[in-house]
């Protein structure tokens, strides 16, 4: 489609208006002259402000967009510098701009770009498409087509393409690009409604070739071909999309597409062009404009409830915005219908699944897949916040399928929130991100006590989802269903703590080159009588909630000092010291005396701080406040070591030694386990080893659970490791016996 050439326009405030072009390569034009904005970070900041023209964008939002990783120690100061340079670039364009007003204004808690929204092509596009849909709803197809043609003509390429290629604003670009695809289909529908199939056909053919999974576009193409007298070509298009859907998603075409095929085969009068006589059942038939699944009442006792009274779930923008293009925190709920049946009838009929995915098409596809294999109750949410609203208002679903890269509350934070409140029985991580990120988030879920059934790369298929559901079935049949894990109550926790049921377990590390025990890890454990052990992260958060975390740390330190004494009496030296696996980010760092109290805990038991290394979480460390960083630095000054667990997600760890005086890098067990079969994870571990050595850090690998992993770690030059292949965690007395027995682990025999 022709692209309109922008010319200088007068601002409502007088003077030439600024034009910001985001629907393609980034451009800023003032008074007809391009403004050079140098660094990609400046462009990202300006683009984000332009997308919210006239509205305040917080400093935190801008920082999150600009520093995906390697966040500077003082991001606020760096951000102010970027804004200052932006102002300089805009001022250098010359001439009165917006009546001489300062366009880029400071407004608590951030900045506002005070320009006319019509000058931002992305906002102009949104206004045109919104007006077109209103006109289409009133039957004004020609006017709607004119607006949509103008809207699509604003595009000069993929949204924010040069900024996205540099690693910024990917989520915003995805939303804009998806809106463009919707607009193209809306335009085709409007032109078909005005009797112009020949006009719609060329770009519909290009559209389905570039986006072969968009069923609505295929339906419009089939109608256009039929109205041009090309019935055979229309039927070939149906067969083509059937093959694509089967190969890519394991799906049959939607009922809407099947209906179009049937009407074409029957030469249904409903497919006649608008100028033809009306069909017997009234009017000219068109493919549905939107696939809007209405919420159905869930079966009794089947998990997630989604009723209007409870959640305000309606397919209207006014309530919770459930419609595909406008959903934010909206939630849909659907009941399995007559789609593709499961391998065994009713196999998954009693299960409830919640799909959390911000991308509208992908979310609807997964819902269709689940319905197709017979899942009894499927709910979906377009954001982490929306999903929490459902979870906190209704029953806990059997399984949550969660994306990682979502705006606002990302998948990592959502998983943490779900774990804190015991809002899920089983979890499936699904993402198009790199496999090492998938494995890392899978590990985070497990470390928080969730039953992670799988970490799946997109696109999902019916076959793979069926396998995951059967895995969940096996868990239930084996007598250890995830649903039986109860929340940790305060009274129960305090009673267990008082009875000494919560104590330390110890896991040895070995030197891979010599086979000798190099150090020991200590972590808290609570084995509930006649029940499963409470996961460490769940235990820690419950202790923090009840104000018992410092007392718990003191108990772990006491047990560890007891092991030092018992080992010493047996003639065993723990030369490498004791690693205490307590998440220090949960401790009350606002208490300035905490570092002194931890030091006193150790010294009062006859040990030196140099015997202890505290473990930190990389994701939480990246969020640590200045007060926490200062307290951690005091611990290092007093002689304690600091180890950071590298999970492979969140900000790059390489910037952390400059913020916190680390002594050790610990590679998360999920990353280590994945290295044997994933070249990208292996490459990341190689890079981590090299960077750690350059930073002077000791490196240890968790998750040495097999001989294959053992061999990979040796090849990488890893010096220390721990895991099931070496030894499971055990009480102090068993550890001493283990040493005397000659390290009887499977990997050390």
Q: Give the pairing of strands 641-646 and 698-701.
A: unpaired
> Residue 103: which of 91, 119, 121, 94 has the closest Cα?
91
304, containing H or E segment? none
Q: Mapping DSSP to helix (H, G, I), strand (E, B) and coil, where does residue 431 land?
A: strand
As a whole number, mean pLDDT of residues 248-256 equals 82
- 693, pLDDT greater than 60: yes
State how far the alpha carbon of 104 is from the alpha carbons of 45, 50, 87, 110, 115, in Å. Answer: 11, 10, 7, 10, 9
Mean pLDDT of 671-685: 77
Q: Which long-range contacts (CB under 8 A, 24 or more apart) does 683-686 make?
A: 684/436, 684/648, 685/716, 686/716
Residues forming beta bridges with residue 57, ordered by sequence position: 111
DSSP state of 250: S
Indicate the SS3 state at residue 206: helix
pTM above 0.85, yes or no: no
> What mean pLDDT is predicted for residues 111-138?
89
Mean pLDDT of 419-442: 70
State the pLDDT at residue 748.
Answer: 53
Q: Which of 543-557, 611-625, 645-659 has the highest mean pLDDT?
A: 543-557
pLDDT value for 394: 63
For 320, how many CA atoms within 13 A lie in the half-sphere containing its CB?
Answer: 26
Pick the more confident residue, 624 or 644: 644
Q: What is the pLDDT of residues 526-578, one digit of tens each?
A: 876 666 667 666 677 677 777 788 888 888 888 888 888 887 787 777 655 55
Q: Which residues pair with 106 in a beta bridge?
A: 111
Residue 541, pLDDT score: 67
Confidence of residue 422 (pLDDT cuts 50, 70, 90): low
Average pLDDT over residues 679-702: 82
So what's the pLDDT on residue 336? 35
Please report which confidence band the pLDDT of residue 124 belongs to, taking 50, 70 and 90 as the band edges.
very high
Band of pLDDT at residue 404, cut at 50, 70 and 90 = confident
More confident residue, 534 or 322: 534
* 401 neighbors 365 (Cβ within 8 angstroms): no
272 pLDDT above the threshold of 60: yes
pLDDT bucket at 287, cuts 50 / 70 / 90: low
Residues in the chain: 749
Residue 477: half-sphere exposure toward Cβ, Cα within 13 Å:
6
Burial (CB count within 10 angstroms: exposed 0-12, middle 13-18, buried 19+), residue 718: buried
* 289 band by pLDDT with thresholds 50, 70 and 90: very low
In Å, what is the CA distance from 101 to each residue of 16, 115, 143, 271, 393? 12, 10, 36, 56, 48
Average pLDDT on 277-304 reads 39
Highest mean pLDDT of the ranges 17-21, 212-216, 432-436: 212-216
Strand partners, 110: 58, 107
pLDDT for 694: 81
Confidence at residue 745, expressed as pLDDT on a 0 to 100 scale: 57
Task: Round the average pLDDT of the chain to a whole number and report it.
Answer: 75
Which are the contacts of 574, defined by CB distance < 8 A and separation ≥ 6?
Answer: 517, 519, 520, 563, 564, 567, 611
Query: How far is residue 344's CA from residue 341's CA, in Å, rounded to a whole number?
Result: 8
Q: Is 126 helix (H, G, I), strand (E, B) or coil?
A: helix
The 33-34 sheet, strands edge to edge = 18-21, 27-30, 33-34
How far is residue 178's CA from residue 99's CA, in Å, rounded to a whole number?
35
pLDDT tens-digit profile of 168-220?
A: 787 788 889 989 999 999 999 999 999 999 999 999 999 999 999 899 999 99
> How far apart are alpha carbons 384 and 91 in whole angstroms?
40
Q: Residue 2 above 60 pLDDT?
A: no
How far apart, in whole angstroms, are the C-alpha atoms of residue 553 and residue 207?
Answer: 60
């Amino acid at each position: 489609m022709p692209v309109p050439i922008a010319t200088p326009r007068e601002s409502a405030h007088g003077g030439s208006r600024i034009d910001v072009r985001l629907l393609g390569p980034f451009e800023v034009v003032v008074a007809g002259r391009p403004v050079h904005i140098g660094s990609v970070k400046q462009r990202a900041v300006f683009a984000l402000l332009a997308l919210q023209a006239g509205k305040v964008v917080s400093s935190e939002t801008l920082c999150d967009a600009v520093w995906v990783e390697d966040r500077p120690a003082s991001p606020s100061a760096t951000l102010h510098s970027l804004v200052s340079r932006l102002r300089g670039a805009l001022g250098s364009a010359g001439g009165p701009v917006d009546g001489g007003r300062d366009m880029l204004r400071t407004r608590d808690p951030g900045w506002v770009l005070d320009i006319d929204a019509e000058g931002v092509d992305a906002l102009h596009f949104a206004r045109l498409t919104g007006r077109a849909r209103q006109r289409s709803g009133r039957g004004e197809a020609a006017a709607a087509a004119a607006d949509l043609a103008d809207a699509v003509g604003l595009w000069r390429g993929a949204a924010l393409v040069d900024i996205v290629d540099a690693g910024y604003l990917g989520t915003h670009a995805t939303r804009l690009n998806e809106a463009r695809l919707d607009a193209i289909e809306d335009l085709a529908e409007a032109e078909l409604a005005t009797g112009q199939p020949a006009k719609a056909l060329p770009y519909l053919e290009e559209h389905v070739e570039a986006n072969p999974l968009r069923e609505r576009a295929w339906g419009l193409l089939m109608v256009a071909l039929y109205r041009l007298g090309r019935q055979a070509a229309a039927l070939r298009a149906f067969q083509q999309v059937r093959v694509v859907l089967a190969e890519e998603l394991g799906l049959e075409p939607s009922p809407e597409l099947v209906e179009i095929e049937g009407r074409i085969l029957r030469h249904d009068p409903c497919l006649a062009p608008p100028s033809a006589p009306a069909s017997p059942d009234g009017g000219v038939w068109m493919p549905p404009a939107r696939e809007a699944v209405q919420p159905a009442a869930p079966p009794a006792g089947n998990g997630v409830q989604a009723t209007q009274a409870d959640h305000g779930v309606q397919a209207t923008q006014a309530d919770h915005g459930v419609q595909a293009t406008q959903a934010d925190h909206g939630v849909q709920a659907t009941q399995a219908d007559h789609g593709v049946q499961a391998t065994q009838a009713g196999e998954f009929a009693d299960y409830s699944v919640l799909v959390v995915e911000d991308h509208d098409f992908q979310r609807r596809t997964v819902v269709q897949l689940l319905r197709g294999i017979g899942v009894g109750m499927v709910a979906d949410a377009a954001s982490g916040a929306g999903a929490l609203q459902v979870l906190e208002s209704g029953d806990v679903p059997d399984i949550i399928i969660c994306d990682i890269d979502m705006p606002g509350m990302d998948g990592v934070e959502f998983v943490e929130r779900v774990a804190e409140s015991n809002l899920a029985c089983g979890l499936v991580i699904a993402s198009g991100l790199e496999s090492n990120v998938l494995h890392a988030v899978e590990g985070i879920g497990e470390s928080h006590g969730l039953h992670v059934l799988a970490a799946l790369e997109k696109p999902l298929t019916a076959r793979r989802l069926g396998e995951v559901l059967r895995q969940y079935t096996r868990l239930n049949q084996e007598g250890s269903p995830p649903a039986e894990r109860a929340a940790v109550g305060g009274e129960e926790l305090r009673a267990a703590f008082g009875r000494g049921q919560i104590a330390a377990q110890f896991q040895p590390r070995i030197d891979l080159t010599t086979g000798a025990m190099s150090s020991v890890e200590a972590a808290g454990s609570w084995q509930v009588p006649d029940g499963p052990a409470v996961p460490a992260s769940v235990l820690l958060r419950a202790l923090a909630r009840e104000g018992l975390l410092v007392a718990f740390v003191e108990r772990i330190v006491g047990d560890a000092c007891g092991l030092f004494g018992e080992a010493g009496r047996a003639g065993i030296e723990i030369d490498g010291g004791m690693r205490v696996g307590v998440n220090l980010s949960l401790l009350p760092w606002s208490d300035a005396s905490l570092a002194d109290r931890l030091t006193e805990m150790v010294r009062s038991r006859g040990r030196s701080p140099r015997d202890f290394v505290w473990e930190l979480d990389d994701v939480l460390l990246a969020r640590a406040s200045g007060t926490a960083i200062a307290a951690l630095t005091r611990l290092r000054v007093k002689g304690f070591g600091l180890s950071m667990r590298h999970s492979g997600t969140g900000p790059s760890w390489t910037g952390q030694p400059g913020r916190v005086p680390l002594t050790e890098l610990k590679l998360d067990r999920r990353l280590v386990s994945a290295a044997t079969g994933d070249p990208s994870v292996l490459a990341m571990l190689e890079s981590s080893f090299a960077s750690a050595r350059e930073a002077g850090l000791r490196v240890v690998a968790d998750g040495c659970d097999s001989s294959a992993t053992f061999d990979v770690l040796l090849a990488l030059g890893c010096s220390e490791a721990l895991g099931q292949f070496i030894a499971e965690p055990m009480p102090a007395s068993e550890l001493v016996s283990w040493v005397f027995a000659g390290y009887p682990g499977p990997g050390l025999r």
